[in-house]
Chain A
Amino acid sequence: RKEVEQDPGPFNVPEGATVAFNCTYSNSASQSFFWYRQDCRKEPKLLMSVYSSGNEDGRFTAQLNRASQYISLLIRDSKLSDSATYLCVVNIGGGYQKVTFGTGTKLQVIP
């Protein structure tokens, strides 16, 4: 089983739609979680951290479910500019800073 798993997509959604991605992780000792965004042929950039209580940043909402070992990203009112690959990132943390990326979920927002 991969340490971090994502549905590669692509998710093709119309502008204005709400879309959600999930990411599962295998190591129950994982301590911190993030979503990164990667545009085509560009480098990954941090989108948002994922906190235990869930957190929002504008149209983006991230949630963590430790019992089921998954995190999610919800995007409301999708924009064309949201088209990108969304990478789930898990950090085991503690004294062993192992940062593992998922394969990414590709989102295409259609006019």
Chain B
Amino acid sequence: EAGVVQSPRYKIIEKKQPVAFWCNPISGHNTLYWYLQNLGQGPELLIRYENEEAVDDSQLPKDRFSAERLKGVDSTLKIQPAELGDSAVYLCASSLGGLTRGELFFGEGSRLTVL
């Protein structure tokens, strides 16, 4: 069974440029998460989707970050314009509803470097 797929794996851009990350969750997983992880820190939630609805975006910096999950499957996270402090790994995860087993399945992440 295919896991969570993310692209691109690596992205280097100059500040003020836009960037977009794509995520394809595990088939059948209705919950999708975008996390940000800085070096030496744990993942921090940016946004959580239940199907196509964003149910928790309280930590998403909405002035420059946006996300969408059309048709409740794939998702895109966009940053425009990027700032130096946005350099991090952006992790996408998916899970079956309920989280009774707590298992979030993560993609390999998209590592962003802003110069």
Determine whether the beta carbon of B99 is less than 8 Å from that of A97. yes
**Once the chains bind, are B102 and A42 in contact (CB under 8 Å)?**
no
- A99-111 CB mask vs B (1 if < 8 Å, else 0) is 1111110000000
Q: How far is the CA of A93 from the CA of B91 in the complex (A)?
A: 21
Secondary structure dominating the interface of B? loop
The answer to whether B45 touches A43 (Cβ under 8 A) is no
Task: Name the B residues within 8 Å of A44 (CB-CB).
Answer: 43, 91, 104, 106
Closest to B43 in A: A101
- In whole angstroms, what is the CA distance A34 to B48 when docked? 19
Does the CB pair B42–A43 fall under 8 Å?
A: no
Per-position 1/0 for A34-63, Cβ under 8 A of B: 100000001111100100000000000000
Pairwise interchain contact A104-B42, C-beta atoms closer than 8 A: yes
